[in-house]
Amino acid sequence: MRFHQGVELQRGRGFGALFSGLVRTLIPIAKVGLRAGKRVLQSDFAKNLGSKALDVGKDMVKNIAADVLAGESFSNSASNEVDIAKKKISEAIRGSGRKSRSRKRKRIQFPKKSRKRLRFNLLE
């Protein structure tokens, strides 16, 4: 009985053989990324940013609805509100960082000494 055996390097795994090596190298990198992302999302910065974005989003929807009811076009009102929301969120990002306190150095005042100039003569 005759059958096709194929090349000796080919084991019948097809594209899965190519992707399995790629996946094995990417899984540890993805795990590290997910751990770091989890820490970032649990930070106070992310929580403050999320609450600010939620407040800005509520205001944006409310203002767009009021503008549409007043007769303004939706696209103009939405573009204006998106610009305002971007500014508010960027201000929140800039303002929420850790602020460094500048320390004032105390200068120590030493009593002034009178400097007498000593003259040495090697011939004396």
Q: Where exactly are the structural domains of the chain? A: 17-95
Q: What would the two tokens of residue 2 be?
A: 């005759």
What is the DSSP secondary structure assignment for residue 42, as one 8-state letter? T
Q: What would the two tokens of residue 113 be?
A: 């000494």
Residue 62 has pLDDT above 70, yes or no: yes
What residue ranges in 23-67 does DSSP mark as E strands? none
Position 105 scores a pLDDT of 74
Who's near 97: CB < 8 A, 6+ residues apart?
A: 45
- This prediction has a pTM of 0.49
Position 10 scores a pLDDT of 53
Kindly report, residue by residue over 1-12, the tens digit of the pLDDT: 566 665 555 555
d(CA 109, CA 107): 6
Confidence band for 54, pLDDT divided at 50, 70 and 90:
very high
